[in-house]
């Protein structure tokens, strides 16, 4: 069953993480196989010679036998490096995150993969007790880039677990459960309030540079005219 998600910016009093996300499509180039060509063997040549005329006499009735054809020779091609025919295995992707637990809070929730909704906004799970991992970016435990996990700050009637993110202290432990792999522990290094009007998507959805975990929800003031919050709360954590 497909996980229900909402698009950031819907008219409801809950976190609408209105991010524009950009992701590149990878193109694969196929190279034709190369190999040695078959060396050609020179054809045998034959020569027929006729006897010349003797001075003042008749032509000789006989002809000389054609010379023996040279034995064919085989050209030995230069040595060519040989590579195994079996393609090399692709680099193993980091395991998919399945849960997020934050020490000292009630945040202990499932994490599901999400993508991009209409309008290039990151999808967010409908359920307030679930968070979404941006599956087009790095995963927790990747060698580089930022793994992004986001969730709602509230519902139409109550606060959601992610409402506690803004109060996390530096050094707080975050544990990320992963599919078929050991859990990872991160430590909070900063909590930032970023205005949505000046949102920096390049820094959040980063694919290069040091690996970090970004846990995001909404924050700041509720704006009735927008039916949205004014800011995003961004927790940055690094592997322990």
Write down the pLDDT at residue 69: 56
Sequence spans of domains, the chain = 91-239
Is the Cα torsion angle 215, 221, 222, 223 positive or negative in sign?
negative
Write down the pLDDT at residue 78: 46
Write down the pLDDT at residue 68: 62
> Hey, is 119 helix, strand or coil?
coil
Residue that the structure tokens 């976190």 belong to: 15
Write down the pLDDT at residue 92: 67
In order along its 240 residues, the chain shows pLDDT tens digits of 444 544 433 434 444 445 444 433 332 222 222 233 344 444 444 443 343 444 444 444 444 555 565 555 554 444 544 444 444 444 567 899 999 999 999 999 999 999 998 778 899 998 989 999 999 999 999 999 999 999 999 988 889 999 999 999 999 999 999 999 999 999 999 999 999 988 888 989 999 999 999 999 999 999 999 889 999 999 999 999
Write down the pLDDT at residue 89: 46
> Where would I find the beta strands (DSSP E) of the chain?
5-7, 49-50, 63-64, 97-102, 108-114, 116-117, 121-125, 130-134, 146-150, 173-178, 181-195, 212-223, 228-239
What residues does 223 pair with on adjacent strands? 228
Residue 236 to residue 240: CA distance in whole angstroms = 13
Q: Which CATH number fits domain 91-239: 1.10.3720.10, 2.40.260.10, 3.40.50.300, 3.40.50.2300?
A: 2.40.260.10
């Amino acid at each position: 069953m497909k996980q229900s998600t909402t698009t950031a910016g819907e008219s409801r009093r809950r976190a609408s993480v209105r991010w524009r996300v950009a992701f590149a499509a990878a193109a694969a180039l196929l190279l034709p196989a190369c190999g040695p060509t078959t060396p050609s063997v020179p054809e045998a040549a034959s020569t027929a010679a006729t006897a010349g005329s003797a001075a003042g006499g008749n032509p000789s009735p006989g002809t000389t036998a054609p010379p023996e054809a040279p034995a064919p020779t085989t050209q030995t091609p230069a040595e060519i490096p040989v590579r195994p025919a079996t393609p090399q295995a692709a680099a193993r992707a980091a395991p998919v995150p399945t849960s997020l637990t934050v020490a000292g809070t009630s945040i202990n929730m499932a994490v599901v993969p999400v993508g991009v909704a209409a309008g290039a906004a990151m999808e967010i799970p409908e359920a307030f007790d679930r968070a979404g991992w941006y599956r087009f970016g790095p995963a927790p435990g990747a060698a580089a880039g930022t793994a992004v996990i986001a969730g709602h700050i509230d519902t139409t009637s109550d606060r959601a677990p992610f409402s506690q993110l803004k109060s996390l202290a530096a050094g707080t432990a975050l544990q990320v459960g992963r599919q078929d792999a050991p859990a990872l522990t991160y430590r909070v290094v900063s909590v930032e309030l970023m205005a949505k009007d000046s949102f920096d998507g390049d820094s959040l959805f980063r694919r290069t540079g040091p690996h970090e975990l970004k846990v995001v929800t909404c924050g700041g003031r509720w704006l009735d005219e927008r039916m949205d919050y004014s800011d995003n709360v961004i927790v940055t954590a690094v592997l322990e």
